[in-house]
Amino acid sequence: MEVRLIKPEEAVDYLKISAASFIWKFNKDEDKEVEMPVLGAFDNGRLVAGTELFDFKCNYCGNLINTLVLSGVCSLPEARGKGAVRAIFDQVGRTAVENGIVAGFLSPFSIQYYEKLGFANLSRLFSISVPFQNLAHIPHDNNVELYTGAQLEELCELHNKCAYKENLVTLREDEKHFCSKPLEEADYTYIHRNPKGEADGYARFNVKRPDELIVEEMFVLTPDALKGLVGFLRNYDGIVKTLVVKKQYPGSPFACLTDRVDGVAYECKGGYAGRIYDLKKLLENNVYPEKHGRFSILSLDKYEQNKGLFDVEYQDGKATVCRRADGDYDLSLTPPAAARLLLAGEGHTAQTAVYIDGVELKNDADDFFRAFPHRATRFVDSFWSI
């Protein structure tokens, strides 16, 4: 099985595989190229599987790490079971460090399948619904401005400020994440401004008549920005009955705002899966407690860069990370378990971690669990242009 980046003239073959894999229509006049690099697997010279590769800079504990999104993973139905997708993922894992990639993400069709490749479900995102009539206590606020593309630099700067408030939020530098033609696309983004005129939050939304105004994204820097955006969205309560805010998690700003509001409903939408490709670098980028601590992890990863024992000693917020060949350790982790404990921000303890498949504790590992408390974590980025 040969694995390599496809050539421009092979894009049509990849798109045909994608159409056959996901059962959608292939348009021979329009489906001729792909925007992102595609890593393909070839069986006897024939392209049988592929995935698009998106690279992002991502916040992790206030530090930027390089991450990769694998999207549109597909294979010919008649060629499945021969290891083509696994070969692609192994190639990514083997070359991640030399390419500076610390972690990878994807939207799993089956978490059980991707766990075999080292991925774990990182986020259980919710759509939160609340009747507009139950938000009447929040004052109307029209200190907003419709995004039209002219404010791209300001909007990216605002988003990136918000990114540093939650782990795994990716930075944005171009227009592909924001709709600059709201009237044509019926996809609106409004920027909220504080009394000084500074952008402090934004919401991107559409309407599903007759019932729902659906907020696809909401990022805010302050409580006033959150209340201001909700107060502005109340202007639509004459055409729809319910406000729905997607991509939320327990403890997110909007979830906190609606905790004491009647009629709130939560619908779990699953989330994204992640994998650690450079364990040492991830451990070095974590923010540690001020109090001294130390722990040792036995990593059961198959990739050479992640395999073996990692000793971590920390104090004053920083740590030194060293590897050794053998000896005692505090806990052992499979790749999915490592992703759950180090990336997901769930804030486990020894009492809860023992129920996670792939976690083995040799002792209570208090210094380890102190170093990875609950953290606001939200990987939500879209993989395609709007």
Q: Summarize pLDDT for 86-134 with one digit per residue, the tens.
A: 999 999 999 998 899 999 999 888 889 999 999 999 878 899 999 999 9
Per-residue pLDDT, 210: 87
Same domain as 45, residue 61: yes
Same domain as 130, residue 92: no
Higher pLDDT, 125 or 332: 332
Please give the distance of CA 303 from its chain centroid, rounded to a whole number: 22
Same domain as 160, residue 246: yes
Q: Is residue 246 part of a domain?
A: yes
The last residue of one of the domains, among 59, 86, 101, is 101
| CA–CA distance, 382 with 301 (Å, rounded to integer) | 28
Asked if 77 and 242 count as a contact pair (C-beta separation under 8 A), the reply is no
Q: Assess whether pLDDT exceeds 70 at residue 383.
A: no
Q: Is residue 114 part of a domain?
A: no
Computed on alpha carbons and rounded to an integer, the radius of gyration of the chain in Å comes to 23
Q: Where are the alpha helices (DSSP H) in the chain?
A: 11-22, 84-95, 111-115, 152-163, 182-185, 223-233, 253-257, 279-285, 335-342, 350-353, 366-371
Q: Is residue 121 part of a domain?
A: no
Q: Assess whether pLDDT exceeds 80 at residue 382.
A: no
Q: Assess whether pLDDT exceeds 60 at residue 371.
A: yes
Q: Residue 23: give the domain boundaries.
A: 2-101
Asked if 56 and 170 count as a contact pair (C-beta separation under 8 A), the reply is yes
Same domain as 298, residue 252: no
Residue indicated by tokens 């009647």: 262
Q: Is residue 256 part of a domain?
A: yes
Q: Is residue 110 part of a domain?
A: no
Same domain as 228, residue 194: yes
Per-residue pLDDT, 44: 94
The last residue of one of the domains, among 248, 270, 292, is 270
Q: Assess whether pLDDT exceeds 90 at residue 380.
A: no
| CA–CA distance, 94 with 75 (Å, rounded to integer) | 21
Confidence (pTM): 0.92
Q: Is residue 308 part of a domain?
A: yes
Same domain as 257, residue 152: yes
Per-residue pLDDT, 34: 83
Per-residue pLDDT, 384: 54
Same domain as 232, residue 145: yes
> What are the pLDDT digits (tens) for 242-279?
999 999 988 899 999 999 999 999 998 777 899 999 99
3-state secondary structure of 59: strand
Please give the torsion angle defined by the CA atoms of residues 224, 230, 236 and 239, in that order, rounded to the nearest 10 degrees: -160
Same domain as 200, residue 137: yes
Same domain as 315, residue 197: no
The last residue of one of the domains, among 251, 270, 289, is 270
Q: What angle do CA 381, 383, 385 make, to 5 degrees?
A: 105
Asked if 49 and 79 count as a contact pair (C-beta separation under 8 A), the reply is yes
Q: Considering the chain, what percentage of its residues have pLDDT values greater than 90?
A: 85
Q: Assess whether pLDDT exceeds 80 at residue 298.
A: yes
Q: Is residue 108 part of a domain?
A: no
- 325 Cβ partners below 8 Å, 6+ apart? 308, 309
> What's the CATH number where 70 sits?
3.40.630.30
Same domain as 288, residue 264: no
Q: Assess whether pLDDT exceeds 80 at residue 81.
A: yes
Number of domains the chain contains: 3
> What are the pLDDT digits (tens) for 135-172?
999 999 999 999 999 999 999 999 999 999 999 999 99
- Residue 244 to residues 99, 133, 186, 233: CA-CA distances in angstroms? 39, 13, 16, 11
> What's the CATH number where 330 sits?
3.30.1050.10
Per-residue pLDDT, 28: 72
Kindly report which listed range (25-29, 213-217, 328-332) carries the lowest average pLDDT score. Answer: 25-29
Q: Is residue 235 part of a domain?
A: yes
Same domain as 263, residue 135: yes
| Average pLDDT along the chain | 94
Top-confidence range, 11-15, 118-122, 312-316: 312-316
Same domain as 232, residue 331: no
